[in-house]
Amino acid sequence: MMQSIPELMTMLREGTKHLRSMAQKLEYPWKPDESDPRVLHNNYARNLVTAYVSRFSNLSDGLLDAIEKENYLVYALNGRAMIENVATLRYYVQHEDLGKFRQVYQRLRESIRDNQPIEWDWSEHDEYTAFKNLAPRVAHLIRTGRNTRGKIPEERAGAWLAVTSNKFEDFWREQDRAQPGAPADARKSAARL
C-alpha cells in the first residue's frame, strides 16, 4: 500500500528531528594541535560525520519548508544536494574496504615478521571470513576502479569463501587415497571408509 503525501511528510519530519538531535549530540570541538595522530584522526572523523549529519538535517528542513510553501525549485535543489551528499558518502564507504583490507594485511605482515601465530584456526573464523570477503572486493576495485559492492564482487567473494572452506579437508584425502596409482594399502584403507 502506498503512503499518502501527509504520511510521507510526517515521516520526513520525524527523520529530520532525529538527524538534528543526532547532530547536536555529535558536536565535538576541533583540536588540531593534538599530539597523538590516532586521536587527531578520530577527532577529524567525528567532525566529518557531524558535518554530514548537520548538512542532511539542514537540507531536510529546507525540503520540508519548500514542500509546505509549494516552492518546487527549492525542493528540487534540496533534493539534488541530498543526492550529491549520498553519492559522496558512497565514495567514502566504497574506499572504506581499502582501509579495512590494509589493516588486516598489516596485521598479517606483522604476525609473520614477529613469528606470531594468527588465531584463524578454521576457515569460518570471523576475522578470516572478513578478510576473504574483502580480498575480492579490493581486487575488483584495483582492477576496475569500480564499486566494491554489487553482483560481481559479491559472487567472487562467495566463490573465494567456498574455495577456501575447510569442509573438503577430509574429503580430498579420501579421494586421493582411492585414486589408481596410490599405494595399495592406502586404497584398501580408503575402501574401508
pLDDT in tens, 44-63: 777 777 777 788 888 888 98
Tell me how far apart the alpha carbons of residues 133 and 148 are, in angstroms, rounded to a whole number.
11
CA distances to 121, 162, 170, 187, 192 from 165, rounded to whole Å, are: 12, 5, 12, 26, 26
Q: Which of 13-22, 66-75, 87-96 has the lowest mean pLDDT?
A: 87-96
For the entire predicted model, the pTM comes to: 0.44
pLDDT at res. 175: 63
What is the C-alpha to C-alpha distance for residues 96 and 13, in angstroms, rounded to an integer? 31
Q: Which of 80, 63, 81, 52 is nearest to 8 (CA)?
A: 63
Mean pLDDT, range 5-25, rounded to an integer: 82
Decide: 59 and 82 in contact? Cβ < 8 Å: yes
Take residue 98 and report the three cell numbers written for it.
Answer: 581499502
Integer Cα distance of 4 and 183 in angstroms: 76
Q: Report DSSP state, residue 2.
A: P
- Residue 116: count other Cβ atoms within 10 Å of its Cβ: 10
Q: What is the pLDDT of residue 30?
A: 67
| Averaged pLDDT for residues 141-170 | 70
Distance between CA 136 and CA 157 in Å, rounded?
Answer: 5
Residue with cell 547532530: 23
Please say whether the beta carbons of 153 and 136 come within 8 A: yes
pLDDT at 193: 45
Rounded to the nearest 10°, the torsion over CA 38, 43, 46, 49 is -100
